[in-house]
Structure 1
Amino acid sequence: MLQRFRAACLAGTLLFVAASGGVVTAADAPLPVSDFARMGTLGHPAMSPDGQYLALSLHNEKAKWGEPDYQLVVLHLPDLKYVSRLDMVRNYQPAQIIWVNDTRMVVPLAYTTSALEAPQGTGDIIAVDFDGSHKQTLYSLRNRGKLGSGPHSLDMPRGFPAVVGVPYPRNGHVYLSLGLIPEHNAAGDWDSHRSQVYDVDSVSGKPTLMGDIDHGSMSFVVHGGVARLAYGSRDAHTTDVYMRADAKAPWTKISDAVTGKQMTPLRISRDGSTLWSLYSDHGGPMMLVSSKLDGTDRKVLAHDDFASVADVQWDVTSGKPYAVLFETGRPHLAYLDDSVDAQVSKALNAKFADHLVMLGGSDDAGKRMLVFAQSDRDPGSLALFDTTGMNLQPLFQVEPWIHAERMAERRPFRFKASDGMELEGYLTLPHGSSGKNLPTVLLPHGGPIGIRDGWTYDTDAQFLANRGYAVVQVNYRGSAGRGPGFEMAGYKHFGDRIQQDLLEGLHWAIDQGYSDKNRVCVYGGSFGGYSSLMQPIIAPGQYKCAIDYAGVSDWSIGFERSDTSHVSVGRAYFAEAIGDEAAAKAISPLYQLDKFNVPVLIAHGEDDPRVPYQNATRLRDALDKAGKPYEWLSKPKEGHGFYAVDNREDLYRHMEAFLAKYLGQ
C-alpha cells in the first residue's frame, strides 16, 4: 500500500504549489497591505462519518454591517457540490463542527469582535442536519427558557456548556458538560462552583444526567456511556483528577503523587483498560503517557526534553494514538506505531517536506481522510485523500491570495539567556534580501502566560518582512509549549526577566549579523504592546521607535476594569502573576515615562474589554504632559485588537509609514 501511496503523492503535488501563482522576483513591489489585513476564508473542516459530506465554517469578509459574516456550509464529497448553508448571527461563528451521525451535526458557537483574542464561546450549542433542516438549539446560556432556546433547555441548569465527546459508535447523541453558575453569586463573580455532564439527544434535545461533581469548571472523560474521569485546574498551574468505577460510585480524587505536577486525561481505550494522558511530573514538558484508569502503571509513549506534546493524532478505526506533534523549532511528528494512518502521514510529510502535513479526520471506515498542510510561507491548504483509489485531491486554500514563493522564510533559533535558561525564537528574513545587517522589528507575542510563537505562517511577521524588515520573535519564559514549570517562571517577572529574554533574543540576531543594531524598533499587541513600551525603558538607546497595539500602560487599570477582573480566577491570576496594586504600578510603563525616550505609535480599540481603552488615553495624556512624541490611532466599536478589515488595513498603513520614518525604509 505504501508504495502505491507514494506514487499517488507525486500526482498530488498540486496541493501545495497551488499557492505559488507563478514566478516572482525579489525586485517586485511590496504586496498590497490588504493582502495581510484580510482574514482566512475557511475553518473547522469536518467530514461526516460515512465520508459523503464536508462541513466547514466560511468567512465572508465582504459582508455589510448587519449581514452574517460567517456561514456553516456543507458540501458533497468528492465533487464539492453545494448542499446547504446556515447563516450565523453577525460576529457569531462555529467554534467546532461535530458530526454525531452520518447526517447530523452539533455546533458550539463562538463570538468574535477582536483580532488579539481567540473567539469566545457564547454559551450556545445548536444541532442541524446536513441539508440545513431540523435545526435545534441544544443549549443557550443567554436565552435559557425563552422561545426558541430548545424544548429541554430548563432540564439543565444555568452554566457554561462544552462538548466533551460523542458516543462510540456515533448514535446522534453528544456529551455536554456544564460548569454551573450560582444563582446568587457575589457581585461580578461569574465563577462555576459545580460541574455536570449530560448525554443529549441532538434531535429531541432531551438531556440525561451522566455525572455531577462538587467542583467548578471541570471537564469529563466518558467511556461506555459512563463519566469515568473528571478533571480541572484548582489554579493556573495545577490539575486535579477524579475517577469513579461506575455511574453509582462516588468520585475519588487521584493523589497528587500519581498526577504529578500536571495531568490532563485525554481518552480511554475502547476496551476500557487504558487511559491516555498528557503528563508532567516535576513541571517539565508535557509527555504523552498511558496508564490504568487510576493513573498507575504509567508508561511514557512520547516525550521531548525541551518541548511539550502539542497535539495527539488518533486512529479513527482503532481509537488509539498513532503520532504526537512537537512544535519546538520547526514542528515535527513523532510516530507511535505503523498503522495505515501513520503510514499515510509519514509519506505525506516526506513528499511535502517544506510543509507540516496533518491528517484532519477521516470517515469511520478510514477510507477518506482530510489532509491539512501549512508552512512558514503558506497559511494552509486542505485536501482529500482516498485510500481506495490512492487519490490526493486539492480542496481549498485558507488564504488563496497569499503566494507562498513571495513570503519570507522563518528560521528557528535557540540561545541561552544570561541566567543560563535555554530559550527559542524565530527569525523572519525578507524574501530576496541578503539576510545581513537588516533593519529589524522585535515582535513580542501576547499573553504572556500560555501563549507562544511558532514556525507556521505569521501574518504580522510576513507583513513586516515584506516591507524589508527582519523580524525577531522570542518564546520568553512564561510562554506555552514547554510545560508548567516554564510557564511559572514568567510569574512576577513581567517587567524584568521576560523583558530581558526579549532583549537578549534581539542581541542574538544582532550578534549573528542579521540585524543592524542602529535600526531597531519594537512592535507588539496586548502583552506585546506592554513589552513595546517596556523595552525602550529597560534598554535606553537600543530602539528608534515603538508601536503599542492594545497594550498595557498601567496594570492597575486591569485590576479595576478588565473583563478578567470580574471572575475570581482572574483576580487570583493578577495577584499571583503580578502581585498587589503597588507591584502593578512598579512594572507599569506609565510611571516610568521619564525613561521612555522614543517616538511611539499608540493604537487601541475604544471598546476593549481585556486591556481597557484608558491604558491608551492615560498614556497619551502623560506623553502630552511630558512633551514626548507619539502618533495616535483609535477605532470606535473595536475591542481587543481591530476586527474590521478596513481598520486592520489602516493599522498596517500607519505602521508602514511610522517604521519607514524612523528606520529609513
Structure 2
Amino acid sequence: MCSIKALALAACVALACAPGAAQPIAPEVFGALPDIQEAQISPNGRHLAMLENKAEGAAVVIYDLDDPSQRPVGVRAGSVKARDLIWADDERLLLLASVTDTFNTSGGKETWEFWRWVSISRTRKTARIILESRGGYIIQAAGELLAIPPQTPGRALFHASRGANGAGLVEVDLDSGSERFIEKNRDSTFDWVVDRAGRAVARLDYGANEVSVSAREPDGGWRVVKKYVSEPLKPSQLSLGDLIDDGQTIAASVLAGDTRAVAPFDLQSGAVGETIFQHGAYDLDGFGYDARRARTTDLRYTDDFVRVIPFDSRERAFQEGLEKAIPNAAPVIVSRSDDGRRVVIRAIYPNKPADFLLYSAETGKISRIAPSYRALDGRALVRRVKYDYGASDGTRVSGYLTIPADKEKKSLPLIVLPHGGPEARDNLAFDWWAGFYAARGYLVYQPNFRGSSGYGYAHRKAGFGEWGRKMQSDITEGVMNLIADGAADPERICIVGASYGGYAALAGATLTPELYACAVSVAGVSDLPAMLGWSKERAGKGVEDFWESRMGASRFKDTDELNAVSPAKQADKVRAPILLIHGKDDTVVPVSQSRKMRDALKRAKKPVEYLELAGEDHWLSRAPSRIEMLRASIDFIDRHIGAGAP
C-alpha cells in the first residue's frame, strides 16, 4: 500500500509553470480556489466524479476508471458557489451549492445566503435544483440529506422545510424534483434518525430546556425513551448522532469531564452505554455520516490534524493501514464504492496542499488522482511547525508558525493571523492564506487563544466575556514570546485576520497600539453593541443572547464595557495604518461594521485604507475576491513592514 503513481486522467496532469526564483509568488497562485475541490467514487466503483474549479466557474467532471479512453462527462455548476458533492446512485450525483441574494422585506432590503441541492444526471448531463422555495415562502436552508434508500433508486430523503406545508422528512424524486412527506415535524421537532430503508426510527423534540428522544414502535406509534436537560448557552450533557450498525444503536456524544466522550445509545431502553472513545486533551469534532448507508461511520477529533476513528473494526484497520502507508500526511477517506474495493482518500499535509488518492483492492496499491492545487504541486515554499507557550496566568496556548522555506526562524517580519469564530481553531494542515504570506518572506503566527474550540470546554469557556481582554492578551503574549525567542523582528509586526480574527486585528491596533506597525481586518467586527443589535434584528433574541454570553456584556446594561473593547469606539488610540476589507454581500458580519471603523478612523485623522468587495460573501468564496484580498493586503503589508519599509 505504499506505491503512489499518477492516474492517466487528462485533467490531472496540467501543471502551472513555476516562476523564476527572483519573482515573488503571485496572489493568483494561493488565492485561486483549489483546482480539485472534491473527488467521489460511484457506488459501483466505476466512475470518479470530481468537483473542479475552472476560470468559468465550478464544474462536476466524471471519469470512467474502467475505460480511460472514454471522454469525461462535464456538467457546469454555473454562477453558484459549489460546496459539496456526493453520489446518490450510479446515475445521479447531488451537489450542495449556495448563492447570495438580496430581496425586499417589510423592513427593507435584506441579503441572505441561500443553500440548495442540485441533482446531476451522469448520462443526460443535466442539472436540476431540488427543494426550492415554494408557496411564497422564502426558504434559506437546503435541507439535510439523511438517506438514499437502495430500494427506491433515484430518490433521496431529506429533513427539510417546505414553507406553508411545514417541515419534516421529505422524499424527493431526483429526476423530476417531485416531493412527498414521509413524516411531519411536530412544532418541537428538530431532528430525525432514519435507517437505510429511509424509515424514521427516532425523533428528537425540544421544549422547556429539555430534549425528548422518541423511538418508533412496531405499530407505527412513538414512545419516549429518554429525556435530558439541554439549556440554552450551555453545553448539552448528551448529543445524539445517527445509527451505527445494528439499527438499534445510535452514536452519542457525552460531556464527561472537560472533553466529550463517545458512547452507544440504545434506542429501545434509552440507556447510554460504556464509553467507546474519549481523548483527554482534545475535544470531539463530530461524526462522519454515509447517507447511502444511513450510518454513522466514524468519530473525528483534531490534535494537529483531523483524526478519524471508524466504528467498524475492518474499516478501522484499513484507516490505520492508510496512516502507515502515506507518511507525513493525515489521510481521510472521502468516498468508497459500496463493496469497498475502491476508496478515495484526501491526504492532508502541513507544508503543501492536499492530494486526492485512489486505493484499489485489485492491485492493493494507492495511486495519486490529482493535487488539489496544481500550481503548487512539487513546490516547497513553506514549512509549518507547532508553537505553544504558557500565558502569564498559566494557561497553555497552542498555535502554529508558517515559515518561509528558504529562511531560518530568526528576526523575521511577523504577520499575526488569528482565526475567526472565535469558537474555532487552526491546525497544522496547509493554509492558503498563511502559506501565501510565508511564501512572500514573512513569519506567520496563528494562535489558538482561549475561547478556541477543540481543547475542551474549559479552554472554550475561558474566552467567554474576554473579547478584547484575555483572548486578546493571549495573542499579545504569543507575539512577545516570539520576540523574546528571537524569531520576530519587534519593529516589523502586522496583525491580520478575518471575521473574529478581523476584530482581533482591530483590537490589537487599538488596545495594544505600540505593538503593531500595521493591521488588516477582513470582514471584522468593530462596534460590539451595533453587532449585537444587528444580530437580534436578523436572527432573534436567542442569537443576541448567545453573543452577549460570549462577549460577556449586554448592549443595554453594559454599553460602556462593550465600547471599551469596540475598536470603532477606540479609534483615537490607533498609531499604525489600517487596511479594511469587506465583502458587500456579507450575511454574517454586515459591511456596515467596516464602514463604521473607516469613518471613525477618518474622524480621528488616522491612516486608513478601505476596500469593498462587490458581490462577495463572508467566507471569500470566489477566487477573484480571494486574489484581490491577497493582492491588496500584501501590498499594504510590504509598504509597512516589508524589506523596503521605512
TM-score (norm 1): 0.82
1:42 aligns with 2:36: yes
Q: What is the deviation of 1:281? A: 3.2
Tell me if structure 2 keeps the 8 A contact 1:174–1:202: yes
Identify the match of residue 541 of structure 1 among 493, 506, 514. Answer: 514
User: Quick one: which of 418, 421, 434 aligns to 2:392?
Assistant: 418
Distance 1:463 1:103 in 2: 40
The residue that corresponds to 2:106 in the other structure is none
Matches of 2:517 and 2:319, distance apart in 1: 46
Aligned twin of 2:284: 309
Tell whether 2:75 aligns with 1:86.
yes
Distance 1:100 1:443 in 2: 39
CA drift at 1:642 = 4.7
Contact kept? 1:19, 1:378, Cα under 8 Å:
no
- Structure 1 residue 654 corresponds to structure 2 residue 636: no
Give the Cα–Cα distance (whole angstroms) in 2 for the partners of residues 470 and 233 of structure 1.
Answer: 48
1:327-338 to structure 2, matched below 5 A, reads 327-334=302-309, 338=313
Contact 2:194 2:294 in 1 (8 A): no
Residue pair 1:159, 1:181 contacting (<8 A) in 2 also:
no
Over 3 Å counting, the alpha-carbon distance change for 1:122 and 1:591 in structure 2 is: closer
Aligned residue for 1:222?
Answer: 194
Shift of 1:177: 0.5
Superposed CA deviations along residues 306-326 of structure 1, whole A, max 9, x for unmatched, are: 212335567999998776443
Q: Distance in 2 between matches of 1:381 and 1:394?
A: 7
Which residue does the alignment assign to 1:376? 350
State yes or no: 1:265 paired with 2:237.
no
The answer to whether residue 607 in structure 2 is matched with residue 629 in structure 1 is: yes
What RMSD over aligned residues (CA atoms) do the two structures have, in Å? Answer: 3.8
Cα-to-partner distance string for 1:337-358 (whole Å, 9 max, x where unaligned)? 651x334433332232221112
SS, match of residue 531 in structure 1: helix
Gap regions ≥5 residues in structure 2: 102-111
CA–CA distance in structure 2, aligned partners of residues 506 and 310 of structure 1? 28
Q: Residue 254 and residue 413 in structure 1: after superposition, are their counterparts in 2 closer, same or farther (change >3 A)?
A: farther
SS at match of 2:520: strand
Alignment-derived partner of residue 104 in structure 2: none
Secondary structure in structure 2 of the residue aligned to 1:244: strand
Q: Separation in 2 of the partners of 1:552 and 1:157?
A: 27
Q: CA deviation at 1:363?
A: 1.0
Partner of 1:587: 565
Distance 1:562 1:75, change over 3 A: farther
* Aligned partner letter, 1:34: E
Q: Which residue does the alignment assign to 2:454?
A: 481
When structure 1 is superposed on structure 2, of 290-299 and 129-138 the one drifting more is 129-138
Query: After superposition, what is the alpha-carbon deviation per residue over 1:546-567, rounded to whole angstroms, capped at 9, x for unaligned?
Result: 1122211112332344698244
Q: 1:405 offset after TM fit, Å?
A: 3.7
Bigger shift: 502-511 or 258-267? 258-267
Change (3 A) 1:664 1:232: farther
Residues 483-502 of structure 1 mapped to structure 2, 5 A cutoff: 483-502=456-475
| Post-superposition offset of 1:365 | 0.9
Name the residue aligned to 2:89: 101
1:558–1:565 contact (8 Å) kept in structure 2: no
- Cα pair distance change 1:410/1:531, threshold 3 Å: same
Equivalent residues of 2:242, 2:296 under 8 A apart: no
1:554 and 1:407 map into 2 onto residues whose CA distance is 38
Q: Could you say which residue in structure 2 is the equivalent of 1:162?
A: 144
Taking the aligned partners of 2:183 and 2:17, their CA distance within structure 1 comes to: 59
* 1:258 to 1:44, Cα distance in 2 relative to 1, 3 A: same
Change (3 A) 1:71 1:393: same
1:430 CA displacement: 1.3
1:273-312 aligned at under 5 Å gives the runs: 273-282=248-257, 284-293=258-267, 295-310=270-285, 312=287
Kindly indicate whether residue 106 of structure 2 is the aligned counterpart of residue 129 of structure 1: no
Counterpart in the other structure of 2:532? 559
Cα deviations by residue, 1:94-142 (Å, 9 ceiling, x for unpaired): x4433333322344432269xxxxxx9735334343213675554112x
Match of 2:332 among 344, 358, 365: 358
Residues in 1 aligned to 2:562 and 2:158: alpha-carbon distance in whole angstroms = 39
Q: Quick one: distance in 2 between partners of 1:406 and 1:363?
A: 34
Match of 2:502 in 1: 529
Task: Sort the Cα spacing of 1:552 and 1:210 in 2 relative to 1 into closer, same or farther, 3 A.
Answer: same
Which residue matches 1:149?
A: none
Report matched runs for 1:306-455 at 5 Å: 306-310=281-285, 312=287, 324-334=299-309, 338-339=313-314, 341-449=315-423, 451-455=424-428
Distance across 2 between alignment mates of 1:436 and 1:234: 57
Equivalence for 2:586:
608
Structure 1 residues 40 and 105, CA gap change in structure 2 (3 angstroms)? same
Deviation at 1:602, TM superposition (A): 1.8
User: Using a 3 Å threshold, how does the CA distance of structure 1 residues 351 and 136 change in structure 2: closer, same or farther?
Assistant: closer
| Structure 2 CA distance for aligned equivalents of residues 211 and 569 of structure 1 | 25
Matched residue type, 1:175? L
SS state at 2:222 partner: coil
Q: Does structure 2 retain, via aligned residues, the 8 Å contact 1:608–1:638?
A: yes
C-alpha distance in 2 between matches for 1:22 and 1:70 = 19
Q: Is the Cα contact below 8 Å between 1:523 and 1:529 reproduced in 2?
A: yes
**Inter-partner Cα distance in structure 2 for 1:470 and 1:122:** 38
Please point out which of 597, 613, 617 is paired with 1:619: 597
Percent identity of equivalent pairs = 22
1:72 aligned residue (45, 50, 60): 60
Q: Please tell me whether the aligned partners of residues 210 and 226 of structure 1 are also in contact (alpha carbons under 8 angstroms).
A: no
Q: Give the C-alpha shift of residue 172 in structure 1.
A: 3.5
Structure 1 residue 514 corresponds to structure 2 residue 492: no
Residue by residue over 1:604-631, the C-alpha shift from the partner in whole angstroms, topping out at 9 and shown as x without a partner, is 2334333223222332222222222222
**Residues of 2 paired with 1:652 and 1:248: CA distance?**
57
Query: Counterpart in 2 of 1:10?
Result: 3
Secondary structure of 1:477 counterpart: coil
Quick check: 1:83–1:131 contact (8 Å CA) kept in 2?
A: no
Letter in 2 for 1:288: V
Quote the residue 2:546 is aligned against: 573
Query: CA 1:182 to 1:318, structure 2 compared with 1: closer, same or farther past 3 Å?
Result: closer
Alignment-mate amino acid for residue 271 of structure 1: D
- Give the superposition deviation at 1:22: 12
* Aligned residue pair count: 619
Deviations 1:52-100 (A, max 9, x none): 222232222x22xxxxx2223322224554453333341343x443333
Aligned equivalents of 2:36, 2:100: Cα separation in 1: 15
- Out of 561, 575, 582, the position equivalent to 1:597 is 575
Equivalent in the alignment of 2:215: 244
Distance across 2 between alignment mates of 1:513 and 1:334? 40
Match of 2:108 in 1: none
- Structure 2 CA distance for partners of 1:241 and 1:392, relative to 1, 3 Å: farther
The DSSP-based 3-state class of the residue aligned with 1:265 is: strand
- Whether 1:172 aligns to 2:172 is no
Q: Distance in 2 between matches of 1:534 and 1:287?
A: 36
